[in-house]
Amino acid sequence: MVASRTLFDKIWHSHVVVDRGDGYHLLYVDRHLMHDGSAAGFARLQARGIALRRPELALATPDHYNSTASRDVAAIEDPQHRRLIEQLRTNTSQAGVRLFFLDDERQGIAHVVSPEQGLTQPGLTLVCGDSHTATHGALGALAFGIGSSEVTHVMATQCLWQRKPKAMRISLEGTPGPGITAKDLVLAIIARIGAAGGVGHVIEYAGSAIRSLSIEGRLTVCNMSIEAGARAGMVAPDDVTYAYLQGRPLAPSGSAWDQALKHWHSLPSDVGAHFDREVSIDATQIAPMLTWGTSPEDAVAIGDCVPDPADAPDAIKRSAMQQSLEYMGLMPGTPMDGIAVDRVFIGSCTNSRIEDLRAAAAVLRGRKAVVPSWVVPGSGLVKRQAEAEGLDRIFREAGLQWREPGCSMCVGMNGDTGLPGQRIASTSNRNFVGRQGRGVRTHLLSPAMAAAAAVTGRLTDVRRLMSGER
């Protein structure tokens, strides 16, 4: 009899080219996403006279360094960043890689564009020189970020040496309450297991609360797997997955669709499959979440207070909390609900899809922002759909800036940054020291919570606004 296997096991073992016998495997890579940080990999290939192994399996789009004020390359103020984006166009043209450049409506954040195009599919291995590649696991793929030298290895061989991680399952059961989104679920998960809770593991997210999420919600959850220290995050494919993929430009069609569907149905973890670690969370008890410190694990419910380092379990944690609070300019015991913010950012590969923009617009409709706020769609296609639905008009009437697609203020390496000392309510995935600019203080939250902060000027329980409070 064949032993019961996890989704992760099935994908991993079907992609092993060489088993070295010491825990390391040479894996075949099905998809390689490239962006404006890929120049070093191309340069190494050119220096060695090596051609890109499988250009038809790659997709490139600028996202990190481009300006979100304009789609014009000339609008990029930093000459080095402008050169990297222009180099991406040259490199991909010479190598025969599909490119969605700034003048292409399909351009956007790689982790938004690939699922949107149907390039991300169940059962595939997918890599990118970006830590948040775990996002694509939402469609049942094994996806993870790789370093610069690994990018070169994949470019040259379409394979990659990896040590096999352990398997972990996090089950969220129950129906979340009103106003609770995928971002709240994943922040609650990270607060529970910690920023190192997933180290050495691939996480499979399961349970009724995960199954009830759209693909966009699942993308948000898997995106932040890396913030829990995991190598990757995954959700088993189901009818929601298949409905999302069917008809997308790069998804299988015709008889190939039928064959793919048959394979995809075989992928979910078998009953009785062994996981090295199991975590169960009651989703009905999750409230709107947000961070108070400088790690995604520093998350609490909006109704809670800033924690006291004196309550830390050990001296190391106590010191880390004290440093975080000093940087964030917060005092223990301060209610989270009511902390003033200086700016709001709605965007990033975590929360820039149409579902995210709809959630923010629902809160902003008929209200006015009282602090500077930006909305940055994840791709040109998301932008077009939002404008077709009139969401851009809601944002503009509320006083928010409606920008062009890109990573923007999430990564802060493109001119989109805050000012020292500013407190930003952000839908991005990281609240590290200086992430959004030198001295900037970041609170991570959902798009709806960010919209609530925009119109109140403070961290606010969005459920009050949803109930009609002005």
The strand pairing partners of 167, in sequence order, are: 202
Q: Which two tokens stand for residue 157?
A: 């061989």
Tell me which of 245, 278, 311 is where a domain ends.
278
pLDDT at 413: 87
Judged by DSSP in three states, 58 sits in strand
- If you count DSSP H runs as helices and E runs as strands, how many of each does the chain have, helices first? 16, 19
The per-residue b/e assignment along 277-294, b for 16 or more CB within 10 angstroms, e otherwise, is eebebebeebbbbbbbbb
Question: Does residue 296 register a pLDDT over 60?
Answer: yes
Same domain, 258 and 216: yes
- Residue 322's domain comprises 293-466
Q: By three-state DSSP, how is residue 234 classified? A: strand
Domain assignment of residue 104, yes or no: yes
SS3 state at 205: strand
Is residue 322 in a domain? yes
Q: Measuring CA to CA, how many Å separate 82 from each of 45, 66, 76, 87, 413?
A: 22, 8, 6, 9, 12
Strand partners, 444: 426
Residue 414: the pLDDT is: 87
The predicted pLDDT at position 179 comes to 94
Establish if 1 belongs to a structural domain: no
- DSSP letter for 163, please: E
Is residue 284 situated within a structural domain? no
Are both 267 and 333 inside the same structural domain?
no
Question: For the chain, what is the mean pLDDT?
Answer: 97
Residue with tokens 């639905």: 389
Bridge partner list, 234 = 204
Specify whether 194 is located in the same domain as 267.
yes
Asked if residue 216 and residue 91 are part of one domain, the reply reads: yes
Q: Are 223 and 125 within one domain?
A: yes
Are 23 and 87 found together in one domain?
yes
Q: Do residues 241 and 355 both lie within one domain?
A: no
Query: Tell me: the pLDDT tens digits for 433-449?
Result: 999 999 999 999 999 99
Tell me the pLDDT tens digit for each residue of 63-116. 999 999 999 999 899 999 999 999 999 999 999 999 999 999 999 999 999 999
Segment holding 354, helix H or strand E:
helix 354-364
Q: How does pLDDT run across 309-348, given as a tens digit for each residue?
A: 999 999 999 999 999 999 999 999 999 999 999 999 999 9
Bridge partners, residue 170, by sequence: 205, 279
pLDDT tens, 382-401?
Answer: 999 999 999 999 999 999 99
For the cut 60, the answer to whether the pLDDT of residue 1 exceeds it is no
Measured between alpha carbons, how far is 30 from 122 in angstroms, rounded to an integer? 11
Final residue of a structural domain among 278, 304, 331: 278
Residues 270 and 334 in one domain: no
pLDDT surpasses 90 at 429: yes
pLDDT reading at 377 higher than 60: yes
Alpha helices in 215-278 (DSSP H): 215-223, 239-245, 255-265
Q: How far apart are alpha carbons 305 and 459 in whole angstroms?
A: 12
Give me the helix-helix angle, 39-48 and 148-157, nearest 10°: 50
Which residues, including other chains, have CB under 8 Å from residue 408's CB and lie 6 or more apart? Answer: 68, 345, 347, 348, 374, 376, 414, 416
257 lies in the same domain as 332: no
449 located within any domain: yes
Q: Are residues 259 and 370 in the same domain?
A: no
Percent of the chain scoring above 70 in pLDDT: 99
Task: Tell whether 155 is covered by a domain.
Answer: yes
Question: What are the structure tokens assigned to 88, written together?
Answer: 């991406």
Percent of the chain clearing pLDDT 90 (strictly above): 97
Could you tell me the CATH number of the domain that includes residue 314? Answer: 3.30.499.10
Amino acid at 464: R
pLDDT level of residue 469 (50, 70, 90 thresholds):
confident
Asked if the structure places residue 430 within a domain, the reply is yes
Residue 283 lies in a domain: no
Q: Are 159 and 264 part of one and the same domain?
A: yes
314 and 240, same domain (yes or no): no
How many domains, in total, are found in the chain? 2
Taking only the tens place, the pLDDT of each residue in 343-376 is 999 999 999 999 999 999 999 999 999 999 999 9
